[in-house]
Amino acid sequence: MRISALVVLVFSLSAFSVKKPTAVRLFPENSGQVVATLNPSDDYKVLSESGGWVMIKFKQSGKEIKGWIPSAPKSEIETKAAPQNEKPWSASSPATLDRDAERELHYRTSSDPAYSFVFPTALQLPKGTVVARGLYFLGWTFEYTPTDSTSVGLRLTVPIGIFAGSVQAKQTFSINDEFHVGVTGYFGGLTSLFTKNGNSSAWIYGTGLMTTVGNADRGITFGGYLFGGGSDDSYGHIVLADVNAHYRVTRRIKVMLDYMAPITTHRKNVAFDWSAIAYGMRIGGENLSGDVGFVIPIYDDAGNFLRYLPLGYPFIGLSVFF
């Protein structure tokens, strides 16, 4: 029942918009008082819905306002709020709704719509979010989202045998609420802590284009990526295609599926007879989430591998949000 209610809420909130001035009731300090007006030019975000009203957040004259507007479809929104004696909530008190809305924002953030297991999507975390993502606790990405469409970060590995580091950035463009495109890239280097030939360092880079159809709760992303690197006397690169999908089934759990396959490399006459599928879930809290999944390699002798690991190779990730 909770899953069905959440799915209905996700799809229904996308139908609400404001086309003309709408009276807004402040929340929660002055609940029930019409103290602000949402203009058509004001940019706002939907936080939650309750009792036929939608709670929104927007800015006017540099001040952040959180309030309620009627949750009517586009053509039915009126320029005045409901009567003063009609509460824009049901069952819960305003303070409880406020806490629930804020908690929902935390859970939505910790579901991390910006990434699947390994590859990015064309979505971003909320503006101002800082996240540390760990892969097997050995590779870490520290990322900051300064705007709604830009994120920058730093990648580092735990120095066990090899130490690598790079800077990265991602820029996204939302065509509408359900269609997004993005470009990402990183550049850095790695060095071996144990070397015999003296040639222990190399530079690395990666870039990619992504298209996401959907939103933070459910969607599918198509991406193409170029990865390369080299040193003074050698160079190599590989082009990969990736398709990943995500679906947020509950407040805390999101299931994910990822398929990746190589397309070409700098070397000629190389047969690309392998690919991989990753599947699993992301379990989120208010400021923490964990990825638990498996990676299944697909190649001629994969049966020998799956004989010992029938579910695939375990995948473990951890993300902390600030």
- pLDDT, tens digit only, all 322 positions of the chain: 444 444 334 434 444 444 444 555 544 333 344 456 667 667 777 776 655 567 777 777 777 777 766 654 433 333 333 333 333 333 334 444 445 555 556 666 778 889 998 899 999 988 888 999 998 888 999 999 999 899 999 999 887 778 899 999 999 999 988 899 999 999 999 888 776 665 578 899 999 999 999 988 899 999 999 998 888 777 888 899 999 999 988 878 999 999 999 887 665 545 567 899 999 999 988 788 999 999 999 988 888 888 899 999 999 999 998 8
Amino acid type, 75: S
Q: How far apart, in whole angstroms, are the C-alpha atoms of residue 111 and residue 102?
A: 15
304/283 Cα distance (integer angstroms): 31
Whole-number pLDDT of residue 280: 96
Instruction: Determine the 3-state secondary structure of 97 from DSSP.
Output: helix
Q: Which residue has the tokens 């509950």?
A: 250
Distances (CA, A) of 49 to 11, 104, 245: 12, 11, 26
Q: How far apart are CA 172 and CA 175, in angstroms?
A: 10
- Whether pTM > 0.85 for this model: the answer is no
pLDDT of 79: 32
Give the sheet arrangement for strand 44-50, strand by strand: 34-38, 22-26, 63-70, 53-60, 44-50
The per-residue pLDDT for 223 is: 97
End-to-end CA distance of the chain: 31
In order of 132, 252, 286, the CA distances from 319 in angstroms are 5, 14, 11
| Residue-by-residue DSSP string for 221-288 | EEEEEEEEEEETTEEEEEEEEEEEEEEE-SSSEEEEEEEEEEEEESSTT-----EEEEEEEEEE-SSE
Where do we find the tokens 């709408």? Answer: 22
Query: Please, is 15 exposed, middle or buried when counting C-beta atoms within 10 Å of its C-beta (0-12, 13-18, 19+)?
Result: exposed
Q: CA-to-CA distance for 291 and 317, rounded, in angstroms?
A: 5
Rounded-to-integer distance, Cα 210 and Cα 206, Å: 13
How many angstroms separate the CA atoms of 188 and 164, rounded? 8
* Identity of residue 49: E
What is the rounded distance in angstroms from the CA atom of residue 72 to the CA atom of residue 27? Answer: 19
Q: Domain ranges in the chain? A: 2-108, 113-321
Please state, in angstroms and rounded to a whole number, the distance separating the CA atoms of residues 275 and 320. Answer: 30
Residue 179 and residue 311: Cα distance in Å, rounded?
A: 33
* In the block, residue with structure tokens 């590859």: 119
CATH superfamily of 113-321: monomeric porin ompg (2.40.160.40)
Place of tokens 């809305």: 101
For residue 141, count other CB atoms closer than 10 A to its CB. Answer: 18
pLDDT at site 200: 76
3-state helix, strand, coil in the chain (%, to 5): 10, 55, 35
What beta strand segments (E) does 93-233 contain?
130-135, 139-147, 150-157, 162-176, 179-192, 201-214, 218-231
